[in-house]
Structure 1
Amino acid sequence: MALQALLVTINKLHTLHRSLLEISRLKTHHLKANDMDSLQKQLLAEKKHVQATAQLEQLRIKQTEIWAAAAGIPVPATVTELLQTITDESAAKQLESELIGLTEAVTELKTQEALNQQLLEQSMQFVQISLDMLAPSISSLNYGTPSQHEQRPQNRSLFDSKA
């Protein structure tokens, strides 16, 4: 029974990560289209998904501990250890396929978010270059600082008293 609850939780985690991947792809589309309003909506949806994922992950940890205690084994530290301790073959295969799907979704999500990060960095660089072109700095307004030869000598006054 505890193993079935764990399987349901992992399935929900897999579904949430797939949904997060779709949100990430939409964010990429909105970044490319420069649609900031839609991007803002996607960021809010992403925040809700991340909170739900964190809650499900906590539930998964508790369910793993409950299952391990019921089976009389130490709490497995990794998924591989978890799969090795399951005696029911069909449950183990089902759990393994869900875990593989979850791992693939997380990997795709990381790749997509790396792309979004690169797009944001390039956008920020473009904005900075545009701002620099529109508002040049004070030093670039002058052609250069006068050299020492062109400056008036400091010890000579404007009034020549010997005349």
Structure 2
Amino acid sequence: MTIESILGQLDQLEKLHRSLLRIANEKTVLIKQNDISGLDQLLKDEQAHLAAILQTDKARETAVVAFFTEQGRPVPLQPTITDVLNIIQEPEHTQLKEAKDRLLHAIHELKWQNDLNQKLTYQSLQFVNLSLDMVRPRTESVNYSKNEVQGNPTTKKLASFDSQA
């Protein structure tokens, strides 16, 4: 395998992550609009993208293993692009590093957008809970008071001796 096949896998991963970022941006809009059915559809699309990303990443790993095998080098336990960068020369080194950096940038943007969506969803949930608490009737406490637990009666004892008799 040549570096071009690894580059192709990285480009495909970047495209998939950019597409996933587009979905995350759409989710932000739908969360703000409280469109549950639209969110449901986007979640299904997101699952399909995640499956494609996993498949492409396995293909990338296979390409890296094949590259190490063709070079006659020992294959690392979990081969990474950094392992390949450590053994290749220019101009492939620069191309591979740029592809890796583009992919990492897309992943960081996606992570930031997903964090925003998580915060928006949490705030929505807090608002729903607050609204429910305002509408829901409050039940009286069924616990005993301190005096009842300790056995102190709340009424005064009357004296049994009447001095005026």
Determine if the TM-score, normalized by the shorter chain, exceeds 0.5.
yes
How many residue pairs align between the two structures?
Answer: 149
Aligned pairs for 1:54-65 (under 5 A) are: 54-65=54-65
* Partner Cα distance (2:100, 2:120) in 1: 30
Letter in 2 for 1:124: L
| Structure 1 residue aligned with 2:26 | 26
Paired residue type of 1:69: T
**Equivalence map 1:62-141=2 (5 Å):** 62-75=62-75, 77-87=79-89, 89-139=90-140
Specify the alignment match of 2:160 in structure 1. Answer: none
The 1-side partners of 2:71 and 2:146 are apart by: 85
Q: Do the aligned residues in 1 keep the contact of 2:61 with 2:80 (CA within 8 Å)?
A: no
Point out where structure 2 has 5 or more consecutive residues left out of the alignment: 156-165
Which aligned runs of 4 or more in structure 1 are off by greater than 6 angstroms? 144-147
Q: 1:78 to 1:63 in 2, by over 3 A?
A: closer
In structure 1, stretches of 5+ residues that fail to align are 154-163
Q: Tell me how far 1:127 sits from its aligned partner.
A: 0.7
Q: 1:131-153, CA deviations, whole angstroms, 9 ceiling, x for partnerless residues?
A: 1111123127x9x988859x887
Which deviations, in whole Å up to 9, do the C-alpha atoms of 1:12-36 show, x marking residues without a partner? 0010001111111110111011111
Identity %: 36
CA RMSD of the aligned region, Å? 2.4
Distance, in Å, in 1 between the alignment partners of 2:146 and 2:95 is 79
